[in-house]
Amino acid sequence: MTVRRYLDLLALTYQISLVPAYTTNVGLRLVKTPKLYFTDTGLACYLSGASDWNALVRQGRLGSMLETWVANELAKWTALQNEDFHVYFWRTHSGQEVDFLLARGEELIAIEVKAARHVEHRDLTGIEACEQALGKRIRFSLVLYGGGELVALGPRRLAVPYGTALLE
């Protein structure tokens, strides 16, 4: 059995979800391989050997587990909408990345997930590259982060505590 068939089986049994890459003809070399997320963050934590939040921090996996959680929340949210939303990610071959692009028609919302309690300018490099490449298709950009305040990061950019954005 090939790896692709195993992945298809895991997706068919709702163990994983695959988030496709957002690609356009903008002249950039973009990564086109989908990103894989476990659909159960508890199972993902167990398989990684993390029994609690502190274990994820010690292992350096907190950021990727939060990204997994956000992927699952976005999948649930888009499934409940009356409009046709799609979730993608964006990454160049040089490594510039936006964790999620929420698409409705030609309009996009860029979403970056950060475990840190503060947003640094370096956390915006992927968003800046994506905004430059996709132009006005990006309606606005969000950084979901571990802080407790809404923070304006510039025109059409906002840092939002991940608990506020997805739990309320």
From CA 58, how far away is CA 148, in angstroms rounded? Answer: 22
Residue 28 reports pLDDT greater than 70: no
Amino acid, single-letter form, for residue 125: T
What is the DSSP secondary structure assignment for residue 49, as one 8-state letter? T
Banded model confidence at residue 82, pLDDT cuts 50, 70, 90: confident
Give me the residue label for tokens 């990454």.
91
Give me the residue label for tokens 């505590």.
161
Banded model confidence at residue 53, pLDDT cuts 50, 70, 90: confident
Residues 38 and 18: beta-carbon distance below 8 Å: no
- Angle, helices 41-48 vs 62-80, to 10°: value is 160
Amino acid, single-letter form, for residue 121: H
Provide the domain count of the chain. 1
| 32-44: average pLDDT | 92
Could you tell me which of 165, 133, 135 has the C-alpha nearest to residue 151? 165
User: What pLDDT, on the 0 to 100 scale, is given for residue 163?
Assistant: 78
What's the predicted TM-score (pTM) here? 0.90
User: What pLDDT, on the 0 to 100 scale, is given for residue 26?
Assistant: 57
Task: Give the model confidence (pLDDT) of 126-158 as tens digits.
Answer: 999 999 999 999 999 999 999 999 999 989 999
Domain hosting 161: range is 3-167
Banded model confidence at residue 107, pLDDT cuts 50, 70, 90: very high
Residue 167 reports pLDDT greater than 60: no
List of residues 6+ apart from 119 with CB closer than 8 A? 143, 145, 147, 151, 153, 159
Q: Which value, to the nearest 10 degrees, does the dihedral of the CA atoms of residues 167, 74, 165, 44 take? A: 60
Residue 108 reports pLDDT greater than 90: yes
- Percent of the chain beyond pLDDT 90? 71
Q: What are phi and psi of 17, to 5 degrees?
A: -130, 150
